[in-house]
Amino acid sequence: MEIINYTDQHKAFRIKARNFMEKEVIPNVEQWEKERLMPKSAWKKMGEAGFLCTTISAEYGGPGLDFISSMIVMEELTKTNHNGAGPLLHSEIVVPYVEAFATEECKKKYLPECVSGDIVMAVGMTEPDVGSDLASMETSVIEDGDEVIINGSKIFISNGINADLVVLAAKDPAVENPYKAIDLYLVHKDMPGFIKGQKLDKMGWHSQDTAELFFSDCRVPIGNRLGKKGDGFPMLMKKLQQERLVTALWGLTAAEFTFDQLLKLYRDDSGLGKPIKKTQVKQFSLVELATELKIGRTFADKLLVDHMEGKDIVPETSMAKYWLTELARKVADVGLDIMAEAGVIKSNPIPRAFVDVRSMLIFAGTNEIMRQIVSKSMKI
């Protein structure tokens, strides 16, 4: 019995998404990887086809679909061997902050263009000397009439070059409690004092632009603050369950895709010029991976349903995030062993998976942080 109730509408939507990816994404992936950028024109096509921000209501120009539909887009995009694409971050992690916490004026101003692809979003939290401990951030914000002035920098910002709008975390130096000092602001690329750095040349995820962002006396309307003053940290915590669940499902889908490619190469004896040596050890490794993927899919699908029902599953999503992203790494690692010499050839899909999935263990909270969260829930 399926855990997720895929309706006829879901199935038709998947076919539509798959056809779109085959026509508009797969033929361009290698060029985007080479150019280190998924161009804005591709974002526009995704928006026009209804594959950005699928859960945004019609009131704000969105398709008004459910979270299952969002995950269908993620799955079909990941199956293009394109783990570094930014639309998932935009649609399922950043835009939900605007939908949940922005003023009505900001929602009407920004959300329709997020849906259409005219606005690409990023989130600015990580700083050069600050990673998981957000309370230690140094980017400052000071109120000045009906504006705020922001100074500081952020690094490793996914979608940083393409970004038109950033959910930026900044801290009021006058507030003693660091957890009450943090606020989130919507900062548009055209606001004075917002400067984008160079694209960072990463180990993997080459199609997703990553950059350092600078803010020098950047003036932002106070109405662009999300929620009430001092609510930034609680808002971040509230959205982390979905962010980590999305990352877990993303990691699992990447693992499944890599495994399917590996299995095809093994069955077809496609060693890219050299036959793959068949051994019982390799057979057993494939069986073990297949078993873990089956277990992982059951766990992840149950969490997706629980999340849609509004359940508090923070410990479980933390478990899934660390386990499934590490499973993605394991599948790629074992895949290279099975492919032997052919595993180092770039035209083989396994090497890309190997370098792409590694960063999944870091973002949305490192896997060490995930273990800490679970240990606290276990009171150990």
pLDDT tens for residues 25-55? 999 998 998 888 899 999 999 999 999 999 9
Write down which residue in 60, 94, 118 finishes a domain: 118
- Do 200 and 73 fall within a single domain? no
Answering whether pTM is above 0.85, one says yes
Q: What pLDDT does residue 239 have? A: 87
Same domain as 67, residue 26: yes
- Paired residues of 378 in beta bridges: none
The domain boundary residue, chosen from 118, 144, 171: 118
**Is 243 considered catalytic here?**
yes
For the chain, state the CA radius of gyration: 21
In a domain, 71, yes or no: yes
The C-alpha atoms of residue 176 and residue 182 are separated, in whole angstroms, by: 11
Residue 330's identity, in one-letter code, is K
Report if residue 207 sits inside a domain: yes
* Kind plus residue range of the DSSP H or E element containing 122: strand 121-124
Q: How far is CA 347 from CA 196, 204, 257, 270, 351, in A?
A: 33, 15, 16, 12, 8
The pLDDT tens digits of the residues spanning 71-125 come to 999 999 999 987 666 888 999 999 999 999 999 999 999 999 999 999 999 999 8
Q: How far apart are CA 38 and CA 35, in angstroms?
A: 8
What's the half-sphere exposure (Cβ side, CA atoms, 13 Å) at 98? 35
Mark which of 71, 90, 118 sits at the end of a domain: 118
CA distance linking residue 258 with residue 178, whole number of Å: 42
CATH number assigned to the domain comprising residue 103 = 1.10.540.10
Annotate 278-317 with DSSP letters as a single string. P-HHHHHHHHHHHHHHHHHHHHHHHHHHHHHTT---HHHH
Selection from 134, 189, 139 nearest residue 159 by Cα: 189
Question: Letter for the amino acid at 84?
Answer: G
Q: Does residue 353 share a domain with residue 223?
A: no
Same domain flag for 285 and 366:
yes
pLDDT in tens, the chain (380 residues): 589 989 999 999 999 999 999 999 999 998 998 888 899 999 999 999 999 999 999 999 999 999 999 999 999 999 998 766 688 899 999 999 999 999 999 999 999 999 999 999 999 988 887 766 677 889 999 999 999 999 999 998 999 999 999 999 999 998 989 889 999 999 999 999 999 998 888 888 788 888 999 999 999 999 999 999 999 988 988 888 899 999 999 999 999 999 999 998 888 765 555 667 788 989 999 999 999 999 999 999 999 999 999 999 999 999 999 999 999 999 999 998 888 776 666 667 888 888 888 888 988 888 999 999 999 999 99
- The encoded tokens of residue 119 equal 């606005």
pLDDT at 240: 86
Could you tell me the CATH number of the domain that includes residue 244? 1.20.140.10
pLDDT, residue 269, reads 65
Residues 166 and 300 in one domain: no
Tell me the sheet residues that pair with 214.
153, 195
The rounded distance, in Å, linking the Cα atoms of 150 and 160 is: 18
User: pLDDT value at position 270?
Assistant: 57
Supply the range of the domain harboring residue 109: 8-118
Residue 347, domain member (yes or no):
yes
Q: What are phi and psi of 166, to 5 degrees?
A: -120, 130
Which residues contact residue 243 at a Cβ distance below 8 angstroms, ignoring those fewer than 6 apart? 92, 93, 364
Q: Both 214 and 265 in a single domain?
A: no
Contact 350, 258 (CB under 8 A): yes
Same structural domain for residues 219 and 253? no
pLDDT at 217: 96
Structural domain count of the chain: 3
CATH no. for residue 221?
2.40.110.10
28 and 70, same domain (yes or no): yes
Question: Does 195 share its domain with 213?
Answer: yes
Residue 247 sits in the same domain as residue 269:
yes
pLDDT at 179: 87
Out of 127, 212, 243, 256, pick the active-site residue: 243
